[in-house]
Every structure is written in structure tokens, then in C-alpha cells.
Structure 1
Amino acid sequence: MAAERGTDGLNGSAGLGGVDQLVRGVAALTEGQRPWCAGAVVLAGHGADTLAHEAFGWAVRYASYDEAADRGVELPRERWVPARRDTVFDLASLTKLCTAVVAVWCVERGALELDRPVAAYAPEFTAAAEHGVTVRQLLTHTSGLRPELPLYECAGTARMLELLRAEAPLTAPGGARCYSDLNLLILQQVLERITGRPLDELVRDVVTGPLGMRDTCFRPHAALLPRVAATEDQRRPWAKLDRGMLRGVVHDENAYALGGVAGHAGLFGTAGDLARFCGALLGGGAYEGVRILAADSVDLLLAAPGLGFEVDQGWFMGELAGRGAAGHTGFTGTSLVLDRATGAFLVLLANTVHPRRRASGSAPRAAAATALARVVRVARAGAGAG
């Protein structure tokens, strides 16, 4: 079921069949007895052209999850909410990208140095100080910290930050990469310390506000809620907290425990807003005449190994990977890929965790990216770009 459709730009001679294949692949993710996701929105572009912007399935379909039957309990049919192009999704770890942009913005202004130790800015992080963890190591996931801490177990208490400050690396900083939410949680504390401002204000004033990302925010306000996609019926044992079906409240338990604003998760947004974000990065830090970063700062973010961004990861970038493509995924079913080599970008937002989390895999994300890579390849060949 397609809620909305929209395409322009390089269709026709530049590969309409390939665009249709991409769109059909995303549509199929919402179909069948056990779909990959309840609903999805895809926005693919190449330069200034929008190749596809379509929505499929349902932003809200289930009331709960039946553990005994291992299936979702559907709402009455008249209460299902179709996915639309302007549906607002929990972006999960795509939040990390905005946190990274704020960090590099601080670097531009001389308030932050990538190779200085965290202790120079936040000495209360005693474990990071003892082991010499640097800001760059947080952004490249080479701090040696483990993937996460159960901060949600002491929500609303000073104990949360105490645990984070005392958490020592498991391996020597600067060595092997280990993806960790703790890196961005610590970076959040550094950014808030050096600016004297909370992260949600920094993201608004540095990223979403200047770029006109009007529907992207932490803690969605009441006017947005009718457009927000539902996520999970959170109950133990499959979840870490008992919160019931979530809609408009951050899915990540640690972000929730921190009040909905965290360096690693918490942002909600639309595919259209994220396309503007991609446009700014592909434009060397500027979009529609508004500059948020210098071109050199964009290089810092996107050049391998990336600062906050993943680079050339075929497991979710498919055939877009290989020439410096950058992006990220989110646990709720979101992903973003941009390729400066061709000017192509892909935003795929989905609620794979509705009605409950499961091992859904990233093959569909990679397939969508591969379909876009092939469309662009045809378009460039047709234009004589080789």
C-alpha cells in the first residue's frame, strides 16, 4: 500500500526502470505476514534531482505484541495510520551524525580540539582521564569503551553520570574500533560543558534550524505527534524497560533515562529533513545559501575513517560503498547514505521495531543503496560521465 508517491529529475532516459526497482524493493519491505517493517519512507536523490520520495505501509498498525502467539496485535483497521512522505520517525543512532556536526562546528571555533584528551574539557570523567581518551577517539569509536551501560536502571538519579564518568576502556584507546553509544554520551557532556548549552539547543541552532529541518527535534511537540510513527511495545524480557507501545517517545532506553536528549539517540525527523542534511554535506557544508560548516570541516566528518559517520560500509551501503560513501544506520530501522563521488544520497526511514524489536538485518538497506548506485551509474553513463 503506497501512502504517497513523488518523483522527478533523472527518470526516463537516465534509468526509470532502476528507480522503479528501488521503489518496489522498499514497498516489499512492508508486505507479507512478517514484514521487515510496518511502514517505510524512501527518499533518493542525485545532485539537485529527487529520484524518488515515496511512502509505504503503516506508521501505526499494532496495539501491542502477543508474546505467546509471537505476533503483533493489530489495532482496529480504522485506527491504522498510513505512512506518508512527511511521517516523523524515531531516528535512533542517526542522532550521532548531528552530534558529530556540532562537535566539528566547535572545532571550527577553537572551542574543541580533536586530539586533546577528554579530561581537558571534562576532568570529572576520571576513567577517560586516567586512560588518556581523546575527543577524536570518541568520534571514531576507538576509545576502547564497551558498547553500552545500563544507565536506564538508575534513571533520574545522579548515579547515571557517575557510572559514565567511572567507566574505563576495555582495551587501549587508539586501538581497535569498537562501536559504542558511550562515546557519544561522553561527547555530549563535553559539548555541553564547553558551550554552556544543552545538546538539543546546539543541534537546533547549528544544524536543524539553519537548514530548515522543521520537523527534526528531540522530544516531539504535541503538534507533531499525529505524524509520528510508532515503535515498540516495550516489555521485558525482550526490552530493557516496561513502557508499553511507544509513539513520540524515544525508543532507546538510555536516551529515555536521560530525558529524551542524548548524544547517541533521541532525534525524531522526516526523510525530507534528512535530505536537506545530506544536501548540506554534499554541498561542502552549505545548502540553499546557508552555510553550517566550512568545506574542510565536512572533509573531517566524511573522510575515512569518519568522525561520527561510517565510511564505505557495504553491509548497509551496498554498491554505493567503495569510493568514500558515508552514512549511518539506526536501531529503529533508519539509514542514511551519501556519496560525494557521485552526488547521490539515500534516506530510508522505517519502523522495523513495530510492534517489537527483532533481528531484522540490514540486507534491505543495502539492496536499496545498490539500486540507487545502479540508477546513478546509468545516468552518468548516459550523460557521458563514464
Structure 2
Amino acid sequence: MERLVQGVRALPGGRPAWCAGAVVLAGRGPVVAVEDATGWAVRYRSYDPERQRGVDLPRDRWEPMRVGTVFDLASLTKLFTAVAALQQVERGFLALDEEVRGHLPAFARGITVRQLLDHTSGLRPELPFHDHPGRAAQLALLWREAAAPAGGPAGAHLYSDLNLIALQLVLEQLTGLRLDALVREGITAPLGMLSTSYGPLAPQGVAATEDQRRPWAKADRGMVRGEVHDENAWALGGVAGHAGLFSTAQDLAVLCRTLLNGGAYGTARILGPDAVAALLDPPGLGFGVDQPYFMGELAGHGAAGHTGFTGTSLVLDRATDTFLVLLANTVHPCRRNGGSAPRAAAADCLARAVARAG
């Protein structure tokens, strides 16, 4: 299993050109097979656009990556929103095939809760909430889009942050609780995921993300650390259905094991097996299924997972009872398209190790 870590460190995409640092944690059944960290949680003080490189902090201020480093999960947040939604379905307060307009009247006819979860609502990928301060202005943007989705007819797959933002609004209206409270009370507290929460967080122990400045970013915020990287989640107050959660590899391993166990971990149960199957069975509700670009050789027989823009990812494979969490700060000090080759390489290592073990 040491090859799993070596794959992240040694492949061309896994060198610092892809990320400043990374944490990898993988397991099978109740056993954690590998848990390691490499590189730096914080290395740069800024980004130099003329030289297209990071400007280093003094060497004594570099902070090493540790297995307990906290990461901005970016779109892995969507998985928690999806679990929170299925909890309401299990309790009979929400139905997957009911129309969203029953909760949010601005939505066009025919768009269902299921379509928000599987990204077939027709909503475009995002809206510039970051350029429209104030909840009223932001909601006005969303309602215009929801009334006549610009992404195409409902039924076609189009990945959209707006789906999970809308689902957040449905859940909050339905329960009278903010999404952060729903996640805490329904998921992280029962499972003992004490390092998982929405920000802002004190920066110590948190991996830095980006030196956000226009024109490459959508806001001028400087080096971001402990606050959500996603500009829209930041504009929405830091608690959003599509982004905003922070966590560690160890906490995410607990979530993976919970889902592989059919919704239970130790004495806690957050979902029943049928709800877990709804999340993970193709095409997946909130989860992507069999996506080789980041799942590598784990894809092909029902592996499910997700990636996050900041460099995060997780994969769980019910067929072999294995999981892989790979967290990296690929946007430190600046966003770039580094691809997912290291993610796929790590998944390949895990798949081959499992095949050898039988």
C-alpha cells in the first residue's frame, strides 16, 4: 500500500506543479491501510502573475502537511447536502420526485428534487452571486434562472452548483434550520466528525488555498485560509449547499465507512441501507459513479465519489469494501487546471493492491 503514497508523490502530476501538499488515506473494511501526508499546507504568501509562480514565505514559516490538516472541501460539500436531503426523504418530509416549486414557487414546473441531486434540472452551472451582494439580489438571480433554466431542458445532465444551492433552500424551508445545523446535527455530531464544519476557521492547522485576485479569481481577497475558497459560497455567507465545509482525511474516512456500512458507524446510524443505495447506485444522487478520470481502475463496477475544485476527492467502492480519500491544496497559490492524473494514479494503486490481496 505504500505505493499508493508513492504514486501521489512521484507521478508527473503529483509533483508540486500539481499541489503544494497532499494527504492520502485509504482503507478496506475496518482497516486503515495507508495514511500519510506530503508537502506543505502553507508555503506561499502570494502569487506573482507576471512570473506565473508563487512567492514563497520565509522558509521558517512554511507549514508541513500533516495527516490531520484541515482542508476546504469545496464540492465535496455537496455530498453532505445530499445526505441531509435523503435523511428528510427517509423521515417522510421530502420526496425525491416531488416538484421543487412546492417548496420554492419561483421554480419552473417539472423540476424535481431528484433532478437537483442528479444534476438533470437544466440549471446552468453557476451564477455570479459574488457580484451581487445581499441575499435579496442573490435570490433574485436564482429565481430568474429557476423560472426558465438556461442550461437546457430538464432531463439532460449538466453539473451545476445551483442545484445544491436550491436544495439547501428547500431543506432550510422544510426544517426551519440552517444547513450548517442540519449537517452538524444529522451527520457530523452522530458520527463524531469533530473536525468537520463550515467556516470561518482559525487558520492554524488549515491548508491555505488561493491568493484570490482579479482577473484570475472572481473576487479580491488575498491569500485565503480558513475561509471558504469558492467565491459564491463566500458571498452567500460561507454556508452553502455546494461548497463551504472544511474537514480532514480522517473525518472523511468515517463518512466513507459509514456509507460502505449501509449508513451506520459504530452505534450511530445516519441513513438506512435503501437511502444509501439511492445515493450510490447509478447514476448517483449527489455522488458521481464510475468516473475513471479520478477513480482510475476503481471505476467500472459501481464505485462512487466526488471531487472538489480545491484539490479534494474521495472514492468508495462497495464491490471491494474499500475507500480512498485524497486531499490536496492544488489551488495554492493560484487556481490552474492541473487535471486529475494523481487522483486516478492513487486509485489505480489501491485497485491493484486490493486485487493482489484478493
TM-score bracket for the superposition, by shorter chain length: over 0.9
Structure 1 residues 1-12: aligned runs within 5 Å:
none
Q: Show the counterpart of 2:170.
A: 190
2:180 is aligned, of 200, 217, 224, to 200
On the 8 A contact 1:89/1:229 being kept in 2, the answer is yes
Post-superposition offset of 1:174: 3.8
TM-score between the two structures when normalised by the length of structure 1: 0.90
Hey, what's the Cα distance between the residues in 2 that align with 1:122 and 1:304? 27
1:58 aligns to what? Answer: 40
CA distance in 1, matches of 2:351, 2:113: 34
Verify: 1:75 aligned to 2:57, yes or no: yes
Number of equivalent positions:
356
1:44 to 1:36, Cα distance in 2 relative to 1, 3 A: same
Compared CA separation, residues 371 and 107, structure 1 to 2 (3 A): same
SS in structure 2 of the partner of residue 231 of structure 1: coil
Residue in 1 aligned with 2:86?
104
Listed as ranges, the gaps of 5+ residues in structure 1 are 1-18, 381-386
Q: For the Cα contact (< 8 Å) 1:29–1:35, is it kept in 2? A: no
3-state SS in 2 of match to 1:194: helix
Unaligned runs of 5+ in 2: none
Q: Percent identity?
A: 65
What are the equivalent positions in structure 2 for 1:246-285 lying under 5 Å apart? 246-285=224-263
The question of whether the paired residues in 2 share the 8 Å contact of 1:29 and 1:36 is answered with: no
Preserved contact between residue 285 and residue 298 of structure 1 (Cα < 8 Å): yes
Contact 1:131-1:173 at 8 Å conserved across structures: no
Match of 2:355 in 1: 377
Structure 1: which 4+ aligned runs deviate by more than 3 Å? Answer: 28-34, 171-174
Q: Which residue of 2 aligns with 1:137?
A: 115
- TM-score, normalization: structure 2? 0.97
Q: 1 CA distance for matches of 2:261 and 2:317? A: 11
1:176 aligns with 2:156: yes
1:22 aligns with 2:22: no
Q: CA deviation at 1:35?
A: 2.2
Distance 2:242 2:283 in 1: 18
In 2: Cα distance, 1:215 partner to 1:190 partner:
26
Distance 1:230 1:30 in 2: 22
CA contact (8 A) 1:327 1:335 kept: yes
**Cα distance in 2, alignment partners of residues 136 and 48 from structure 1:** 32
Q: How far is the alpha carbon of 1:26 from its aligned partner?
A: 1.6
Return the offset for 1:363: 1.2
Deviations 1:26-78 (A, max 9, x none): 22379998521001000010111111000000000000001111110000000
Partner of 2:310: 332
Q: Secondary structure at the match of 1:139?
A: helix
- Hey, what's the Cα distance between the residues in 2 that align with 1:95 and 1:248? 15
Aligned to 2:95: 113
Aligned residue type for 1:355: P
Q: Identify the residue that residue 346 of structure 2 maps to in structure 1.
A: 368
State the distance in 1 between where 2:184 and 2:11 align. 32
Name the SS for the 1:260 alignment partner. Answer: coil
Deviations 1:176-208, CA, capped at 9 Å, x for gaps: 100000000000000000000000000001111
- 1:310-336: CA deviation from partner (whole Å, max 9, x where unpaired): 001111100101111000000000000
- Take 1:162 and 1:309, find their aligned partners in 2: how far apart are those partners? 28
How far residue 364 of structure 1 moved from its aligned partner, in angstroms, is 1.0
Q: Counterpart in 1 of 2:331?
A: 353
Q: Give the AA of the match of 1:181.
A: D
How far residue 175 of structure 1 moved from its aligned partner, in angstroms, is: 2.1
